[in-house]
Every structure is written in C-alpha cells, then in structure tokens.
Amino acid sequence: MTDRDDSLDGIIDILKEPAELRPGFTDRVMAEIVRLPAHGDAPVSVARLPWWRRQWTVRLTPLRGLALSGGMAALLFIGLLVGRQSGPSSPVAPSEVAANSLQFVLVAPEASTVALVGDFNDWSASATPLVRAEGGVWTVTVPLPPGRYRYSFVVDGRVWRNDPQASAVEDEFGRPNSVVTVGGA
C-alpha cells in the first residue's frame, strides 16, 4: 500500500467513530422539526387559503372507483359518437350545397373500383364511391360547403392516387394529397 492509501484509511476510520453531541441537541432539533410547516409550505393558515390551493382527501372504494372510471369512459364514448355524427363542417343551407357541388373525375381504365376519400368524409373509402363511365372515366359529384379540402382517390381499395388536375400538399404522414378550395356565394 502507498502512503496515500494509508492516509485515506485513517480518515475513514476517524469518520466511522461516533460523534459526541451536546446535551439536549437531539431534543432541540426535534422541536424545530415539529414547528416546520409540512412539505415546505409557507406558514399560512389553511383557512386563509383559497379552496383550489387546499389539500383534499378523496377516499374511494374499489367499486366506486370502477364505477367512476366507467362513467367517465361512457361520457368520452358518447362525446366521440356525437362529434362523429355532427361531422367537421357546419350546417349548410340547401341552396349553398347545390351551388357548391363539385364533380371529381379520375381516368383509370384498369381500375375495378374507385373511391373518393378526404376531409369531408373522414377519409372513409366506403363513403363516396365513384361511378364508372365509358373509357375508364370515374366520376362522382359531392356537395361541399365553402372551405379548403384535402382529398385522394383510392383505386381497387389499396392504391392511393392524387388528382392529376389539382395541386397537392403533404399530410402529417408525408404523403401528398390533392387540394380543392370551394368558394362561398
């Protein structure tokens, strides 16, 4: 061993020895601890705290906790259903719908099915099918209120195609989508 190791061992031995405290030291420390506010809070009377800063204790049995969480899940589910039924767009008068009907066209002679998906139908491939005309031209007319919409065509249920007649923007997945803007009256 080196001298350095010997001196370090000596320091460790000294630190292991019990320390002698003055009489009453432990009692004074414990009395101060009792006087301190809990959790480091400022010494403020609980009665003067606003209700939103007071500590609350909530006690639930497992059965009540389960019932509470089930009720919250049911409210969330109902909210999602109501939101989905009402749709993202606002109600539109029939005259506006007729004035803002758009015809979407895709030339795809090799396709057996084509669907239109977009913001306006929650990207559902079954909501807006196109109808085949002569020469493999697929069309559908959709009433849309004024606004800006992203859309694509789904060919044969698996291949997504942009509209070659429209401009495109990338979605949040990095995939390009066609864009159309419907003007108001």
Over residues 63-78, the pLDDT tens digits come to 988 898 899 899 888 8
CATH architecture of residue range(s) 94-182:
Sandwich (2.60)
144 C-beta neighbours (distance < 10 Å), count: 20
Give the start-end residues of each E strand in the chain: 101-107, 114-118, 131-132, 137-143, 147-155, 159-161, 167-170, 176-182
Q: What is the dihedral of CA 152, 155, 157, 158, to 10 degrees?
A: -80
Does the reported pTM lie above 0.85?
Answer: no
- The per-residue pLDDT for range 101-155, each reduced to its tens digit, is 889 999 999 999 999 999 899 999 999 999 999 889 999 999 988 888 999 999 9
How far is Cα 54 from Cα 74, in angstroms, rounded to an integer? 30
